[in-house]
Amino acid sequence: MLVVPLVFLALVLGVVEIDDPRALGRVGLKTLIWIVAVTAVAVGIGLLLVNVLQPGRGVPHEVGERLIAEAGQRGGEITSCRDAMSARDMLLEIVPINPVRAASEGNLLGRMFFALVFGVAAAVVRSPGTRTFVDTMQGVYDICLKLIEWVIRLAPFAVAALLFTLTARMGWDVLLQLARYVGVVLLALVLQCFVVLPLLVRYLGGMSPGTFFRGAKIAMVTAFSTSSSSATLPTTLEAAENRLGVPRRISRFVCTLGATANMNGTALYEGITVLFLAQFFGVDLNLAQQALVLLICVLGGVGAAGVPGGSLPVIAMILGMFGIPPEGIGLVLGIDRLLDMSRTTLNVAGDLAASVVVARGEDEQVPVASA
Ligand code: ASP
């Protein structure tokens, strides 16, 4: 309910507040460098662990075949989704023909593009009319934040109920059969979330990891329970601005963009799953091919939608590219929800860490520029 207005308002206001086009370019560039570099590290950790621990060789073949057969229909839907959306279509979607339709159909990239150019124009035209309009948008944004505050008060009860239902539905048997794969994914996520990110936050962002995780907790819990970076966005913004003290102009820009484009958990998961299925089907990928998997997964993190299971069509596409049967995705569908919850948590933690790091550089530059 709150995501559509918030993405638009947060991006437009973020761009208007950055004001200086050079600063906008700088913040944008830093965000881009963070996305590529940190995501590449995440995928690298994942690929290293799969190569060392070889989880794909641990699943008995008859069990694998059975899981794929059971997933039948859902697996088919995901692989056909892959055919429908080519890289060219994805690129063309960025500029929507109709921004209102883009918003109602969940085309987040298109919606963000529209908000970005709208914000740039609003920053450039300094008439009394635009100023009044921007003030009005600020008012609507504040109202949205109030609504979010109310939602957050309900969160603890909702999270408890959600986790209970999920555990009861999923059952333990599928989990046990794929235990090694699940273990590798969780280990890689934990390393990235609790070793790599804290180091970056400490040394590049100048914030102690304890302070960071205390501030980020509410957004991470929401991400874990909703499995959606987009649905968590309101809470992410709240955490960045009010709990981590990131300036609004930075948090709005970085976190809103990050909710669709900065997904280190998703990219890491894509890398592990592709290699895991390659091992299961006996497809050998040499070092150069694995480097290519890494590159594609970094892009895959940008391309996946911030919704539950958003990365599954991307994985199906990558599997096809390397000659691994895409229907193999069925093997992991049974336990996807648990892993989705976990990787989304890392995605959101990554957005917050990015906003802390990008903001620090900006703070240092403000006095220099005004001196
Ligand atoms: N659920 C993830 C997110 O929203 C996307 C995915 O990896 O499926 O961040």
> What is the DSSP track for 324-364?
--GGGGHHHHTTHHHHHHHHHHHHHHHHHHHHHHHHHHHHH
The ligand 1 atom at the shortest distance from the C-alpha of residue 306 is 4
Q: How many domains does the chain have?
A: 1
Give the structural domain span for 302: 21-88+154-359
> Cα separations (Å) of 181 from 184, 256, 335?
5, 31, 10
In a domain, 120, yes or no: no
Specify the pLDDT at position 90.
67
Establish if 7 belongs to a structural domain.
Answer: no
pLDDT score, position 94 = 79
Least confident of 50-54, 122-126, 200-204, 355-359: 122-126
Ligand 1 pocket, mutate which of 35, 189, 225, 229 (most atoms under 8 A from CB): 229
- Residue 320: inside a domain, yes or no? yes
360 Cα: distance to centroid of ligand 1 (angstroms): 27
Of 32-41, 147-156, 170-179, 260-269, the one with minimum mean pLDDT is 170-179
Cα 130 to chain centroid, rounded: 33
Residue 174 pLDDT class (50, 70, 90 cuts) = low
In a domain, 2, yes or no: no
The stretch 138-164 carries a mean pLDDT of 79
Report yes or no on 78 lying in a domain.
yes
Give the per-residue pLDDT at 302: 79
Alpha carbon of 371 to ligand 1 centroid (Å): 43
Atom of ligand 1 nearest to the CA of 308: 1
The Å distance, Cα 263 to ligand 1 centre, comes to: 8
pLDDT digits (tens, 9 = 90+) for 216-246: 999 999 999 888 898 899 899 999 999 999 9
Would you say residue 13 lies in a domain?
no
Which one of 150-154, 188-192, 328-332 scores highest in mean pLDDT? Answer: 188-192
**56: which DSSP letter?**
G
pLDDT tens profile 277-307:
999 888 888 888 889 889 889 888 877 778 8
Q: Is the pLDDT of residue 350 over 50?
A: yes
pLDDT digits (tens, 9 = 90+) for 178-190: 888 999 999 999 9
Q: Which of 220, 344, 345, 348 to mutate to test the pocket of ligand 1 (most atoms within 8 A of CB)?
A: 344
Cα–Cα nearest to 75, from 335, 364, 331, 292? 331
Asked whether 335 and 182 are in contact (CB, 8 A), the reply is yes
Closest residue by CA, ligand 1 atom 1: 308
Give the number of other Cβ atoms within 10 Å of residue 332's Cβ. 26
Question: CB of 330 within 8 A of CB of 312?
Answer: no
The residues lining ligand 1, judged by C-beta closer than 6 Å to any ligand atom, are 227-229, 263, 266, 304, 306-311, 340, 343-344, 347
Residues 119/253, Cβ–Cβ less than 8 Å? no
Provide the CATH number for the domain around residue 271: 1.10.3860.10
Ligand 1: atom nearest CA of 231 is 4
Q: How far does residue 230's CA lie from ligand 1's centre (Å)?
A: 9
Residue of 252, 184, 251 whose CA lies nearest to 46: 184
Distance 208 CA to ligand 1 centre (A): 27
Q: Which atom of ligand 1 is nearest to the CA of 230?
A: 4
Task: Classify residue 128: in a domain, yes or no.
Answer: no
Q: What are the tens digits of pLDDT across the range 244-274?
A: 999 988 998 899 888 888 999 999 999 999 9
Let me know: does 327 contact 68? Beta carbons within 8 Å.
yes
Predicted confidence at residue 370, as pLDDT, reads 33
More confident residue, 108 or 195: 195
pLDDT, averaged across the chain: 84
Asked whether residue 144 is assigned to any structural domain, the reply reads: no
